[in-house]
Structures are given as structure tokens and as C-alpha cells.
């Protein structure tokens, strides 16, 4: 009898193991493929691959929180009430954030030896805040908004430190622009996976996306601490002061040089690393304003006036997909682009975006709404990568991380301003596109000519790889 059981148990165990391998194979195969892609071209040896994976985790967690908040603040109530809730969200979270954002970059810039700990703290704080919000997300109570502000601040803190970390993990065979493109693309892919996952979790209950976000951010905490120790090194770094000293003087001064001139140096700011960087920031600020504006304005507009023959939910999803695909496409183009003229790229994408906004205002239609969303996504991605290229080229390595931190803060503030404009406007598509055209025109007027002039003159300190 025992021999019979043994004979029967052997094939059954083998079959079970075979089924288990078959089920694990797609998952493990995908994991190996992802790891191979993130660790290619020396990224595994330098530690950049781990940063790409960490940013993917960060983006997935942020998307899960976004799904939970959108379902509570926006989709769960009629449009008029939703607009009031989002206005309250802006007042309670975004307004204080605009005051805190300029402080985050300089504060973290003073902690170069604790970057891994700072990223881990940003992850862990969002995990705890997600748990706090899970109790209030069903009712949309006021206690939800301070927690959402904390999530925004922690997310911004992570973004600033991540920008400062990339140059420390740069492989010899990858330029800074391509490295940033790969990090960004990893985040976009993770966002695309997390969005439907969050929607599925929401079907179980409004708090479940937040439970998922908590688990994701906890894993991100451990990933942050697993980054190479050189992330915490500040060897050879100083703080950037970006201020215009005059047309015939070199624009960069370091904290060390200011210490020689003054016993009490003024706090560093973002005013003089070169005209190309300044004009690049102006152009990218306009593009980032457009992103914030479209996020809020189209969210409300399409609930009241959905695209022709479609439901509001499908209309919003279509525009979101267009923006996401555009962003991914712009990131991919930036990773492949070998142009040595980032000024021309920024000028081109800003001009094309302005032209698209003007056409959308004049010939407003469902098609143009999708087109402006896609063009805005492409332009924001390409513009940001070109700005990274300018900072890499015109800012010496010892102050480059400081410049990245401050530029990220300025661009985030521009997004907040654009979002505030979007929530305040009447829900009229032509009016909205006209307003978008107006601030894009202002950005083009202040930046495009300077960018093209700088491109003709060239850079005295080319550093683009």
C-alpha cells in the first residue's frame, strides 16, 4: 500500500511542480527582462539601475494615492461639488505647498551626506500618511487634506534628492540626459501599471488603493537604503548661485568663493549659471504651467462637456492616455536624440506647443483636445530633458546637483500656478485654450529669442556627452 501511495504521489508532485514553474515563468521572466533593461550599459554596476527601480516604485505609489484622492475628491460627487472640493484641495494643500516648495530644495541641499536616509524618510512618511488617509478617504473629511499636503511635500523632497543623486550614479557610457530619460521612463511605465491596479483596488473599497500605496512605499523605503554608499558622498560639491553678474563675467560663483569675499555670504539662489539655463527654465516653466492647467481644467471640462458621443469617464481616460503616451514618446525621443543643441529643442517644442494651443482655441473640437494633451506630454518631456542637458553642459560638476534641486523646485511651483488657473476658469473650451495660448505666448516671448541667440553663440564650456 505504501508503494502505491509513493507511486501516486511522485507524479502528482511532479505535476504540481510543473504547474508552479509554468505559473512563475511569466513573472520571473518579466522580472529578469526588466532588471536586464534597467541595468544595461553599466547602470547595474554604477547603481543607476537601482535608482531606476526605486523611481518606478515611487511613481507607482504616487499613482495609487492619486487614484484614491481622485475617486474621493472628484468622481464621487456631482460636478459642482467636485469643483468646490478641488478648490478646497488647492487651498489647503497647494497653497501651503507653494510656500514650502522653495524651502525644500535648499534644505535638502544642506544634507548631502544623508540622501539615502532622506529618500527613505520620504517613502516611509508617505506610507504612514497613506494609512492615515485610508480612514478619511470614504467621507472626504477635512483631515484628508493636511495628509495630502504631507504627501505632496514628501514627494517633492524625494524628487529633489533623486535629481541630486543621478549624477553620482552616472555610468561612463551614459550621458546625464539619457540617464534622466531612463529614470523618467521607468516611472512612466510603473505609473501605467499602477493606474489600472489602483482602479481595480478601488472596486474593493475606497481605502484599498491607499493600502496598496502603503505597501509600495514601505518597499521603497528599503530600496532607498540599498542604494550605493556613494549617493551620500558630497565630495567636490558646492552650492550653485544662479544670478546675472553681467555680460562679461563668468556666471558661476561657488560658496567657497563667496566666503572669501564676505564673512556672511548671502543665501544661494538660482540666477546665474548662464543665459541658456535661465531661458531654458523660463520655457520649461511655461510648459509645466500648461501641464498643471490641462490637468485641472480638462478634468472639469470633460465631466460637463465630454468628447463627442463619449461618456465623461471615457473622455477623461482618452485624454489621460494621450498625455501619458505623449510623455512616454517624448522621453523615448529624448533618450535617442543626439542633438548638441538643446536650446533649439526647447525653442522648437515651446513654439510647436504654442501653435497647437492657438489652433485648439480657434478650431476647438474633441480631436484638438486629444492633440493638445499629447503635444503637451511630448513637449514637457523633451523640454525637461533638454533643460537637463543645458545644466549638464553649462554647470560644472561641483555645483550641478544644487542646480538640479533648485530647477526642480521652480518647475513644480509653475505646475501649481497652472493648476490654480485651471480650477478658476469657466468651463469653456475656447476660453481655456485661449488662456493657455496666452501664458505660452508669454513664455515664448521671454525665452525663445534668448535660446536661439545662445544656440548661435555656442557654449564656452561644452559638457554634453
Predicted confidence (pLDDT) per residue in 167-176, tens digit = 778 787 777 6
Same fold flag, 47-227 and 274-465? yes
Q: Which of 122-131, 181-190, 342-351, 432-441 has the lowest mean pLDDT?
A: 181-190
| CA proximity to 311, closest of 322, 319, 323, 303 | 303
Decide if 287 contacts 350 (C-beta within 8 A): yes
Q: What is the mean pLDDT of residues 351-370?
A: 93
3-state secondary structure (DSSP) of residue 29: helix
Give, to the nearest 10 degrees, the angle between helix 429-457 and helix 342-362: 160
Tell me which range, 63-77, 236-250, 376-390, is most confidently predicted by mean pLDDT: 376-390
The rounded distance, in Å, linking the Cα atoms of 302 and 427 is 9
- For the chain, the structural domain boundaries read 47-227, 274-465
Strands (E), 133-273: none
Asked if residue 252 has pLDDT above 60, the reply is: no
Residue 78 is predicted with a pLDDT of: 53
Note the pTM of the prediction, 2 decimals.
0.71
Q: Which of 51-65, 134-148, 273-287, 438-452 has the lowest mean pLDDT?
A: 134-148
Mean of all residue pLDDT scores within the chain: 76
Fold classification of 47-227 is: Growth Hormone; Chain: A; (1.20.1250)
Asked if residue 50 has pLDDT above 80, the reply is: yes
Residue 207 is predicted with a pLDDT of: 86
Asked if residue 93 has pLDDT above 90, the reply is: no
Beta bridge partners of 241: 253
The rounded distance, in Å, linking the Cα atoms of 376 and 228 is 35
Fold classification of 274-465 is: Growth Hormone; Chain: A; (1.20.1250)
Asked if residue 9 has pLDDT above 80, the reply is: no
- Pick the more confident residue, 381 or 397: 381
With bands split at pLDDT 50, 70 and 90, how would you rate the model's confidence at 237? Answer: low
With bands split at pLDDT 50, 70 and 90, how would you rate the model's confidence at 96? Answer: low
Decide if 109 contacts 239 (C-beta within 8 A): yes
- Pick the more confident residue, 67 or 56: 56
The rounded distance, in Å, linking the Cα atoms of 157 and 284 is 20
Decide if 42 contacts 174 (C-beta within 8 A): yes
Q: What is the mean pLDDT of residues 87-109?
A: 62
Q: Which of 60-69, 119-128, 226-235, 323-332 has the lowest mean pLDDT?
A: 226-235
Cα dihedral across residues 307, 309, 311, 315: positive or negative: negative
Residue 152 is predicted with a pLDDT of: 79
Residue 463 is predicted with a pLDDT of: 43
Decide if 151 contacts 126 (C-beta within 8 A): yes
| Residue % of the chain over a pLDDT of 90 | 22
| CA proximity to 346, closest of 336, 335, 334 | 334
Residue 205 is predicted with a pLDDT of: 85
Decide if 401 contacts 318 (C-beta within 8 A): no
Beta bridge partners of 253: 241
Predicted confidence (pLDDT) per residue in 195-230, tens digit = 889 888 888 888 899 999 999 999 999 999 988 888
On the CB side of 456, how many CA atoms lie within 13 Å of its CA? 5
- Pick the more confident residue, 445 or 88: 445
With bands split at pLDDT 50, 70 and 90, how would you rate the model's confidence at 400? Answer: low
Q: What is the mean pLDDT of residues 334-358?
A: 84
Backbone torsions φ then ψ of 113, nearest 5 degrees: -85, 0
Q: Which of 56-70, 225-239, 432-446 has the lowest mean pLDDT?
A: 225-239
Residue 385 is predicted with a pLDDT of: 82
Q: Which of 46-50, 196-200, 380-384 has the lowest mean pLDDT?
A: 46-50
Amino acid at each position: 500500500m505504501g508503494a502505491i501511495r509513493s507511486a501516486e504521489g511522485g507524479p502528482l508532485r511532479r505535476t504540481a511542480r510543473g504547474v508552479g514553474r509554468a505559473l512563475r515563468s511569466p513573472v520571473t521572466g518579466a522580472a529578469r527582462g526588466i532588471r536586464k533593461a534597467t541595468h544595461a550599459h553599466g547602470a547595474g554596476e554604477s547603481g543607476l539601475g537601482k535608482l531606476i527601480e526605486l523611481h518606478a516604485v515611487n511613481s507607482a505609489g504616487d499613482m495609487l494615492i492619486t487614484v484614491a484622492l481622485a475617486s474621493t475628491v472628484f468622481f464621487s460627487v456631482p460636478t459642482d461639488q467636485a469643483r468646490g472640493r478641488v478648490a478646497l484641495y488647492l487651498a489647503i494643500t497647494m497653497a501651503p505647498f507653494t510656500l514650502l516648495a522653495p524651502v525644500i530644495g535648499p534644505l535638502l541641499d544642506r544634507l548631502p551626506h544623508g540622501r539615502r536616509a532622506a529618500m527613505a524618510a520620504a517613502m516611509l512618511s508617505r506610507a504612514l500618511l497613506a494609512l492615515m488617509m485610508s480612514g478619511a478617504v470614504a467621507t472626504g473629511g477635512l483631515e484628508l487634506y493636511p495628509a495630502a499636503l504631507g504627501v505632496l511635500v514628501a514627494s517633492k523632497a524625494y524628487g529633489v534628492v533623486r535629481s541630486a543623486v543621478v549624477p553620482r550614479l552616472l555610468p561612463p557610457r551614459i550621458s546625464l540626459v539619457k540617464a534622466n530619460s531612463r529614470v523618467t521612463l521607468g516611472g512612466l511605465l510603473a505609473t501605467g501599471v499602477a493606474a489600472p491596479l489602483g482602479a481595480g483596488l478601488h472596486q474593493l473599497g475606497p481605502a484599498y488603493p491607499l493600502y496598496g500605496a502603503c505597501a509600495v512605499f514601505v518597499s521603497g523605503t528599503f530600496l532607498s537604503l540599498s542604494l550605493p554608499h556613494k549617493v551620500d558622498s558630497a565630495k567636490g560639491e558646492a552650492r550653485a548661485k544662479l544670478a546675472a553678474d553681467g555680460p562679461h563675467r563668468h556666471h558661476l560663483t561657488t560658496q567657497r568663493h563667496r566666503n572669501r569675499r564676505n564673512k556672511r555670504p548671502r543665501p544661494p539662489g538660482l540666477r546665474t549659471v548662464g543665459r541658456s539655463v535661465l531661458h531654458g527654465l523660463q520655457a520649461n516653466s511655461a510648459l509645466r504651467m500648461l501641464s498643471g492647467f490641462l490637468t485641472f481644467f480638462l478634468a472639469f471640462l470633460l465631466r460637463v462637456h465630454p468628447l463627442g458621443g463619449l461618456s465623461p469617464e471615457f473622455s477623461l481616460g482618452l485624454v489621460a492616455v494621450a498625455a501619458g503616451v505623449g510623455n512616454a514618446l517624448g522621453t523615448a525621443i529624448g533618450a535617442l536624440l543626439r542633438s548638441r543643441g538643446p536650446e533649439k529643442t526647447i525653442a522648437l517644442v515651446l513654439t510647436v506647443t504654442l501653435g497647437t494651443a492657438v489652433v485648439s482655441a480657434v478650431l476647438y473640437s474633441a480631436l484638438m483636445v486629444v492633440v493638445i494633451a499629447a503635444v503637451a506630454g511630448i513637449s514637457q518631456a523633451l523640454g525637461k530633458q533638454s533643460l537637463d542637458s543645458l545644466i549638464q553642459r553649462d554647470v560644472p560638476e561641483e555645483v550641478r546637483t544644487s542646480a538640479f534641486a533648485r530647477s526642480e523646485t521652480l518647475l513644480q511651483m509653475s505646475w501649481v500656478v497652472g493648476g490654480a488657473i485651471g480650477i478658476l476658469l469657466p468651463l469653456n473650451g475656447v476660453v481655456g485654450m485661449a488662456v493657455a495660448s496666452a501664458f505660452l505666448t508669454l513664455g515664448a516671448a521671454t525665452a525663445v529669442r534668448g535660446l536661439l541667440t545662445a544656440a548661435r553663440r555656442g557654449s564656452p564650456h561644452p559638457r554634453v556627452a
